[in-house]
Structure 1
């Protein structure tokens, strides 16, 4: 185990952190302090575990760096676990059900429960960085999920609730076979949500670009590229894009299911 940003040795200043951890509520996790985890199946990879049930999430998010020949040939997911991989930077091959997909930055692959996800770095000896997700699939009778692969550059850019400076992209179909979705939400500088949201869905969000301020349980928290946010069910939430570039993040959402007792 080692620190992801390689800042090791004697400190040069007073120890401090922007991390905020409120289990079963919300969390802000910046890259400083993140560690490399050793996980079976991942070779020549730096794997950092982000949200887990220990934090209050019903899913697990990871940040993965595949180094030269980095791979998971053993397979990730399977049985009752659905998985999703998004390429933040680089180039990989990802395979599912004996079909291989070449994914570059913005590319992604969703594997339904029972389908193993395999990964290999194809970035000419340079590292590739991935956002990885897994969750127990909530199956309902008469519907099934299916393999989905695409690139965000091919997706429709939707004016979020009629606002032209806030763009939403849906990475998975709005289909009852899927019990979750992955979205990318992008704010031009100065743009914001139309209101503070409060809902049953929970989110795990990785900041892809820019800076913002995020309302998390009515506390305004500065966030920036490389930060990770967990939002539990019913946490009040909203964001402003600030700075000089687009504020954008990828996030998961449970959906298409009724509440179970």
Structure 2
């Protein structure tokens, strides 16, 4: 895959501690319907170190907990030059997805190597042999989604990789392109039990109704500003902010500008409800 020059902005985490003169105010919110983890609270002292990784620290944005989003884990990993892992995933039944924010990484999946730059992504099936390394000279940051795969007889997910900048966004019906979705998965392929998309709103565009659905969400703001309706609340969002939504949490969005508003979106799909 050819290396591309980013035409979009990709927000990253700045882990440095704020000065002692800063106020204690924070936009972090935890409710039974949703959680907001703003960029301002993703600092050095809340990072985790994972035993399977070297030269790496992680910010765990979501994990299955009581009253939380239960279908997935989502992390932002920061990997120093020369860092990475030869065995990132400790659970064979878990699938994965990486999306690069800054720097570059090499991902090898069952012997096939992919070079990922900002906007680059890769899907890793469960039980795959894979590794990730930062062979460049710049620290890399990327999202890592993990989900226990829900098997269906006759369906088998396959590894794939790409870059969102090489995918044509699809306009949402009736919006004249003001609301667009870049689909990183083949939405017709039922072998996959989750999707990752990049959603774009032009200034003034909105979700004009309260979406209320069974799919959980993990949403990371890549670029721009907006206000999001979450359950009964309007929440201001800026680049680097993250929020997760439980099933059936009402949601809507208004992008106030001045530039485009873009976010990375996880949702679970394509499976019957287990009773």
Fold in common (TM above 0.5):
yes
1:152 maps to which of 164, 167, 171: 164
The answer (yes or no) to whether the contact 2:50–2:57 under 8 Å persists in 1 is no
Distance 1:150 1:214 in 2: 29
- In structure 1, stretches of 5+ residues that fail to align are none
Question: What's the secondary structure of 2:88's corresponding residue?
Answer: strand
Give the 4+ runs in structure 1 shifted more than 3 A: none
Task: Report whether the alignment pairs 1:187 with 2:187.
Answer: no
Using the TM superposition, name which of 224-233 and 162-171 deviates more.
162-171
Distance 1:260 1:182 in 2: 22
Deviations 1:230-249 (A, max 9, x none): 01100001111122111000
Using the TM superposition, name which of 54-63 and 251-260 deviates more.
54-63
The answer (yes or no) to whether the contact 2:100–2:117 under 8 Å persists in 1 is yes
The answer (yes or no) to whether the contact 2:69–2:247 under 8 Å persists in 1 is no
Aligned residues between the structures: 256
Deviation at 1:5, TM superposition (A): 2.1
Task: Report whether the alignment pairs 1:50 with 2:61.
Answer: yes
- The TM-score, its normalising length taken from structure 1, stands at 0.93
Q: Which residue of 2 aligns with 1:108?
A: 121
The answer (yes or no) to whether the contact 1:77–1:117 under 8 Å persists in 2 is no
Question: What's the secondary structure of 1:153's corresponding residue?
Answer: helix
Q: Which residue of 2 aligns with 1:250?
A: 264
Task: Report whether the alignment pairs 1:162 with 2:174.
Answer: yes
Task: Report whether the alignment pairs 1:215 with 2:225.
Answer: no
1:131 maps to which of 127, 143, 146: 143
Q: Which residue of 1 aligns with 2:38?
A: 30
Deviations 1:190-222 (A, max 9, x none): 111132100000000111001110111131100
Distance 1:228 1:182 in 2: 15
Distance 2:257 2:206 in 1: 13
Deviation at 1:4, TM superposition (A): 5.8
Q: Which residue of 2 aligns with 1:97?
A: 110
Task: Report whether the alignment pairs 1:69 with 2:82.
Answer: yes
Distance 2:139 2:112 in 1: 23
Indicate the structure with greater strand content. 1
Task: Report whether the alignment pairs 1:20 with 2:20.
Answer: no
Deviation at 1:138, TM superposition (A): 0.6
Distance 1:183 1:70 in 2: 27
The answer (yes or no) to whether the contact 1:4–1:33 under 8 Å persists in 2 is no
Distance 1:241 1:116 in 2: 41
Query: Which structure would you say has the larger RCO, counting Cα contacts within 8 Å and 6 or more residues apart?
Result: 2
Distance 1:252 1:201 in 2: 9
- In structure 2, stretches of 5+ residues that fail to align are 1-12
The answer (yes or no) to whether the contact 1:198–1:236 under 8 Å persists in 2 is yes
Q: Which residue of 1 aligns with 2:7?
A: none
Using the TM superposition, name which of 126-135 and 67-76 deviates more.
67-76
The answer (yes or no) to whether the contact 2:62–2:73 under 8 Å persists in 1 is yes
